[in-house]
Amino acid sequence: MKERIAQIIQKEDMTAAQFAEKIGISPSSLSHILSGRNNPSLEVVMKIHKACDYISLDWLLYGEGQMETDVDSDNNIHYTPSLFDENSLFTPERPASPEYRKENEVKTPLYSPKEIVREEIKYVEVPAKKITEIRIFFDNGIFEHFLDDWDFMNNHSLTISDNYFLNQFDNIVFEAAQGLLLDQNNTEYFPHLTPSNTGIENPKRIIENVEWNDEINIETCYVSRTYLTRHGAGKFPSECNKRFINEYMFDKTNVPNPFQDTLRYGTLDLRELYSRCSDDVGNFGDEKSIAITHCNEYDWDNDKLIELFKDWNIYYSDGETHNDVN
C-alpha cells in the first residue's frame, strides 16, 4: 500500500510533510509508512480517503481497479440492469404503458405450469466465529506516539548476547519494575496489574544464566515508602485520605494527569511488607536488605521494622538525594 500512497502524494504535488498535514497525521508516522517500517492503520487509510475523495477505496486498500473513482459530472448514479430486467415493467428507458396497468384483465397463460421441483435443504451446523483481536485507535495520535517512543528506546538500548559485557563491571545494579503487589501473577489484584514480573524473578534468571569469571556477592534490596501509594483504579484495602499521612507533602514526580489521575495514599502494614519481601526473595542471594524512604513525611513504627527485618540490612532515607540515605 505504501507505493499507492506515494502515487497519491505525487499526484497531489506535495511533499510527504505537506501531505501528512493535509490528512491530519504526524510526519514521522507517514515517514514510517512510506519506508515500510509500519503498515498504515485503517484510521490512516480513511483519513487519506476523506482528504482525497476522488481516490478509489478499492484501489487504495487492495490495488484493484483504477486510482480515481468513475463519477460523472452530474453526480448521477448509473443504472445497472438486474437479473429481472427482461420482464420488468419499469426501466429507466421505458415508461409504464397503460396495457400493463393493474386494473387490466389478466389473461389465462397459454403455457402449462412447470412441475414443481422439491429440493431438500440440509442444515449444516457451522462453528460460531470467535473474536481473536480487537484494535481501537483514538484520534489523539497516541498510537503513533507510542511507535515513535518505542523506536527511540530501541535505538538507545543494548542487547547483551554473551557473558563478556556483565563480567567487565565490579558492581551491577538490576532495577526491577513496580511494586510487588502489582506483579502480573498477583491474582488478588487482577486485572489492575503490571504485565510483568515486578520482583526478583527476572534479575535472578539473568544472574543464574551468566558464566561469571569470579565469585559474586548478591544483595537483594527492596524499597518502600513509609506509606503506600498507587495510581489509577484497582484494589487498595488500606487507602486513606492524604491528610492522614501528611497533608503538606508534595510529590514532584507523580503529579495529577488524565492518564493516571491523582496519586492515591494508604497506610503500610509492616508485617505484610515483610511477608511479601520474604516470599519473593526466598533463599536467593547472599544478603537481604530493606530501604525505607520518605521517613520525614510520616510517623511510622521503626521498632516494629527492626523486629521484623532483624536479619536484614536496613537503609533509611529522609530526603531527595543519596546524601540523605543512612
Domain membership of residue 113 (yes or no) is: no
| Residues 265/240, Cβ–Cβ less than 8 Å | yes
Q: Which of 272, 324, 317 is nearest to 291 (CA)?
A: 317
Domain boundary among 11, 30, 62: 62
Chain mean position to CA 308: 40
Considering only 107-116, 136-145, 159-168, 220-229, which range has the smallest mean pLDDT?
A: 107-116
| Residues 220/285, Cβ–Cβ less than 8 Å | yes
Residue-level pLDDT at 119:
62
| Residues 146/166, Cβ–Cβ less than 8 Å | no
Count of Cβ atoms closer than 10 Å to residue 162 Cβ: 9
Please indicate, yes or no, whether residues 33 and 176 belong to a single structural domain of this protein. no
Separation of alpha carbons 155 and 233, rounded Å: 33
Q: Tell the residue number behind the cell numbers 403455457, with chain if given.
A: 111
Please indicate, yes or no, whether residues 176 and 299 belong to a single structural domain of this protein. yes
Domain membership of residue 319 (yes or no) is: yes
Confidence of residue 279 (pLDDT cuts 50, 70, 90): very high
Q: Is the pLDDT of residue 132 over 80?
A: no
Please indicate, yes or no, whether residues 171 and 320 belong to a single structural domain of this protein. yes
Residue-level pLDDT at 112:
56
Please indicate, yes or no, whether residues 285 and 171 belong to a single structural domain of this protein. yes
Q: Is the pLDDT of residue 154 over 80?
A: yes
| Residues 266/181, Cβ–Cβ less than 8 Å | no
How many domains is the chain built from? 2
Q: Where in the sequence is the domain holding 46, given as residue range(s)? A: 2-62
Condensed to tens digits (0 to 9), the pLDDT of residues 188-203 reads: 988 999 889 999 999 9
Domain membership of residue 119 (yes or no) is: no
Mean pLDDT of the chain: 82
pLDDT, mean of residues 44-49 = 87
Q: Is the pLDDT of residue 141 over 80?
A: no
Which residues in the chain belong to E strands, given as ranges?
219-225, 228-230, 239-240, 264-266, 287-293, 313-316
Please indicate, yes or no, whether residues 175 and 305 belong to a single structural domain of this protein. yes
The fraction of the chain above a pLDDT of 70, given in percent, is 79
CATH number at residue 49: 1.10.260.40
3-state SS of the chain: helix, strand, coil percent to 5? 35, 10, 55
Residue-level pLDDT at 285:
94
Residue-level pLDDT at 114:
58
Separation of alpha carbons 220 and 231, rounded Å: 26
Condensed to tens digits (0 to 9), the pLDDT of residues 73-115 reads: 444 434 444 444 444 444 444 444 444 455 555 555 555 555 6
Domain membership of residue 41 (yes or no) is: yes
Residue-level pLDDT at 73:
40
Instruction: Return the higher-pLDDT residue of 176 and 213.
Output: 213
Residue-level pLDDT at 226:
96
Separation of alpha carbons 165 and 159, rounded Å: 10
Phi, psi of 43 (to 5 degrees): -60, -45
Please indicate, yes or no, whether residues 193 and 309 belong to a single structural domain of this protein. yes
Domain membership of residue 267 (yes or no) is: yes
Domain membership of residue 42 (yes or no) is: yes
Q: Is the pLDDT of residue 280 over 80?
A: yes
Q: Is the pLDDT of residue 309 over 50?
A: yes
Residue-level pLDDT at 75:
43
Domain membership of residue 110 (yes or no) is: no
Residue-level pLDDT at 108:
55
The fraction of the chain above a pLDDT of 90, given in percent, is 36
Describe the strand order of the beta sheet including 239-240 as a list of residue ranges: 228-230, 264-266, 239-240
Q: Is the pLDDT of residue 118 over 90?
A: no
pLDDT, mean of residues 123-151 = 73
Residue-level pLDDT at 123:
62
Separation of alpha carbons 28 and 17, rounded Å: 9
Domain boundary among 45, 62, 79: 62
Separation of alpha carbons 66 and 62, rounded Å: 11
Instruction: Return the higher-pLDDT residue of 57 and 110.
Output: 57
